[in-house]
Amino acid sequence: MSALFVVDPLEGLDAGIDSNVGLMAAATDAGVAVWVCGPEDLALVAGRLLARARRIEVRPRVPSGDHRWLVDSPWFDAVEQRVVDVALEVQVALLRLDPPVDPRYLRTTYLLDIAHDAGVQVVNRAAGVREMQEKLWVLRFAELCPETLVTAEVDRVLEFAALHGTAVLKPVDGFAGIDVWLLRREDRNARSLVESATGRGRRHVIVQEYLSSVDSGNKRLFVLDGEIVGAVDRFPSFDDFRIGPPAAAIGPDDRDRLVVATLAPHFRRLGIVLAGLDVIDGRLIEANVTCPGGMHKTDALLGTDLSGVIMRRLLHHSEERVLS
């Protein structure tokens, strides 16, 4: 059995924390051939999707005592390199490019549509990822989310911040906490900040009420096949309101289960097999589906096996597809 990871360059991954490395290691441990390539390595030839790929084996690693793994350098061994016929040789193709969903990412999804149509399990399904913009899609479920505004108008953002006292401002297509700001009503820099974030009214931003309960934890729910397979709490640091790495295991509560039960039918329709939901005090912040992460860090910190559970489930699905 083979798994193809369509990823950013391996040499740029931080193997001590990167969730892609955790999934590759789990596949290696399961005896699965791990192939890797980048978007530029995919080609459509006579209707068939080909990948100029490397087969690698992930070297053993051990937890470091926090959320990181101790790994060799290099952290993998390259076994072979050749062109792979994806439909013939790959059972699971994992779309694991970091956001944003830019033209490079979109072109990759269109190529992976070909693999899906040929019977390869693509995780997450490319068409579903295109439809489900991570930060905007969840807002159709307004009853699950904090009060939220999406606008390019500077004055409207400032009015929202004035109403709530404190708000969180973030880009629509942002990720990893980049360009996320705490907007306070009394801040004399507020207008300048909003003008910059919106490109002086030409670029949409997301503005949400600030939930002070974030100090008690921002929960990451790991959702696989519409079910919660793990959860971890993360906290802001004393000098940064944004969320840090996994810090403690936590069980899902009734509100978490309601959030997942509401989204699960839509995930199934869209082919979103793996998602990471961010929840603060029972309110949904976003659904990470482009490259859901956090599993590798959580496994190192807590001794869990989220990466293994996910890969074994994906491989089991692929066996079912072959037998059906």
Residue 183: which CATH number?
A: 3.30.1490.20
Judge if 115 and 36 occupy the same domain: yes
Residues 6+ apart with CB under 8 A from 113: 126, 127
Last residue of a domain, one of 210, 232, 262: 210
Question: At residue 68, what is the residue type?
Answer: R
In a domain, 203, yes or no: yes
User: What is the model's pTM?
Assistant: 0.92
CA angle centred on 51, ends 117 and 3, rounded to 5°: 70
Q: Convert the pLDDT of each residue in 118-129 to its tens digit.
A: 999 999 999 999
In a domain, 171, yes or no: yes
SS3 category, 308: helix
Residues 6+ apart with CB under 8 A from 271: 116, 122, 124, 125, 127, 128
Rounded Cα–Cα distance for residues 275 and 279 (Å): 13
Rounded Cα–Cα distance for residues 49 and 120 (Å): 11
Task: Give the per-residue pLDDT at 316.
Answer: 83
CA angle centred on 299, ends 288 and 220, rounded to 5°: 30
Number of domains into which the chain is organized:
3
206 pLDDT tier (thresholds 50, 70, 90): very high
For every residue of 258-276, DSSP letters joined together read HHHHHHHHHHHHHT--EEE
Judge if 158 and 263 occupy the same domain: no
Judge if 35 and 72 occupy the same domain: yes
Instruction: Give the CATH number, domain containing residue 218.
Output: 3.30.470.20
In a domain, 244, yes or no: yes
Rounded Cα–Cα distance for residues 321 and 324 (Å): 5
Question: At residue 84, what is the residue type?
Answer: V
- pLDDT for residue 323 is more than 80: no
Judge if 186 and 119 occupy the same domain: no
Helix (H) or strand (E) holding 5: strand 2-7
**In the chain, which residue ranges form alpha helices assigned H by DSSP?**
19-29, 86-89, 103-117, 126-131, 134-137, 154-164, 190-197, 254-270, 295-302, 306-323
Q: Convert the pLDDT of each residue in 135-186 to its tens digit.
A: 999 999 999 999 999 999 999 999 999 999 999 999 998 777 788 999 998 8
Task: Give the per-residue pLDDT at 37.
Answer: 98
Structural domain that includes position 218: 134-138+213-288
